[in-house]
Structure 1
Amino acid sequence: MSDLRNVSSNPHIRAKDTTSRIMLTVVIALLLPAFFGIYNFGFRALVLILISIATCVLTEYIYEKLMKKPITIGDFSAVVTGLLLALNLPVSVPFWIPVVGGVFAILVVKMLFGGLGQNFMNPALAGRCFLLISFTSLMTNFNCDAYTGATPLASLKAGESVNVLNMILGRTAGTIGETSVIAIVLGACVLIVAGVIDLRVPGSYIASFAVFVLLFAALSGIAISPAYLSAQLASGGLMLGAFFMATDYVTRPVTKKGQYIYGVILGFLTAIFRIFGASAEGVSYAIILGNLLVPLIERYTMPKAFGKGGERS
């Protein structure tokens, strides 16, 4: 009988979702901003995306092979990491940049901490931040055949006006995957409809960012207006980060209350970095710092177990 039945204590929860299905859905959703990035920046963007994905998948495979661990590349999590990393790169970077970033993201941030589900921060963003710190000039050079000059965020930082419609459509400089708000939001709709994400984290993130960026801009003497707020929301990696990276199952809080708090913290930090920081962008660092605060958030938002001080229902 022991071979036929598995006896375990309740509760018994069954779900059709698997890691591979969820990750594959994320890949499909990311194809929209990826295809637009290829259309916007050309063949070089496609090459960078393929290099980044191949590096992440191979790094995970080689590590698990050498460590004699089960091979997990079939869960598509390494593909998601490679694709997200590539979408956060300027198209002008050398081809070895996604290799270095991919190895760091998978080997250092993911595998050395136990693999999928054990990493303490988003691997793709950690890889991007590592590249930003190590190769700042390469990672902040957005000049290419399609666009030259400052990004919209840099122009806003300098007090210049920007074309919000071009930013929404994607006719602007930036990283491969962050330029088109429409493509990102359509991809996010795929995740929402599929039930992979909800609006707790991205909604609280974007809403709180809007409040804090207006507040901090006013305190800094920056002229605020609907056009300024629209430009801040549509520029940079805010939408990509809010829907595709802040919602990472592993590095976000598990409690509903914690997810709202997490989103507000991300909005606060992003506004701080954008208005008062030396760099025009702040999404990557905000999410990484938010990831580090997740254990603290969960400590104070996790419901107490019955009999351990919890309220009776």
Structure 2
Amino acid sequence: MKKWHVIITVIAALCVIAIIYIIRLNSIPAITYFPIDKNRSFSNAETTIQLFSEKGNDNYEINWRAGSRTENSVYLRQDVSLLYDNGRLRGALTKWVQDTDTIQLKEKLHHEDSSLFQSISFHHGEVHYPDSQIKSIHQLSSDYLYVIDSPTTSLESFKTPENNYEKEWKDLLERTTKQQLIYQWNKLFHHFQIDSNHYLTVPLTDLAKYQEEPLPSLTMEQTEKIMGQLWEGLYKNYVIPVVNTENEELNSYIPIVLFDKDQKHLLVLYELNGKKNKLIQNYSFTDQ
């Protein structure tokens, strides 16, 4: 009898462990693409980067915000935002909330030296219907900011240059950032033996333009599906590892997204903390 008590106790303990594991697994935030819900939409979705204050002669503070609102409360809302400084990753913000219509993300960052800040955000909603049908909505937003921190002039920031001085700084920051990124991307092309001539290459931070226009030779509906599935993969393979890494240890640059010119697949190439990665997404438009 005692033997059976031990066996039952062990089985019960294993069941409890299994249940806890399943609950924890299901509670891990994730972005999941479902067919687009054409009856729901975002009333607002935006990303902003602003100079907040000067903290002394050698450093300053910026406000980085992202957020969105849906027309009605939905089952699950989730937003994610990435920030880059002269092409280098500075951090990621992400938040998910059930049964809400609003998400707000914000952070203040200390920095020094002149910089081109760029941020890209993905706003996501998961809609559940009574007949167990699940659909999703999403939207992209982005922002950028040029900050001039020169020892010979006062601290200033702008988005569009208004004089020759700002235009020169804009050209300098863009040129140095582009040179650094091209160097990093070429290493990835070489490592994975990829001929970039077969692809439309788009920096991750430039993806928001496909919120308003389709990818070449594709419809807007196809483009929406590609973007939703792209961010599902990015969140799992790029954002989560970034969020779980201390900011002081982050070492990554803007990923490069490669859209196959034959409209069959896309690739995402990036390096995170010394490890080179390649994501592959094959296109499938049968379930739109």
| TM-score normalised by the chain length of structure 2 | 0.28
Which structure is higher in helix share? 1
**Larger radius of gyration between Structure 1 and Structure 2:** 2
| TM-score normalised by the chain length of structure 1 | 0.26
Which structure is higher in strand share? 2
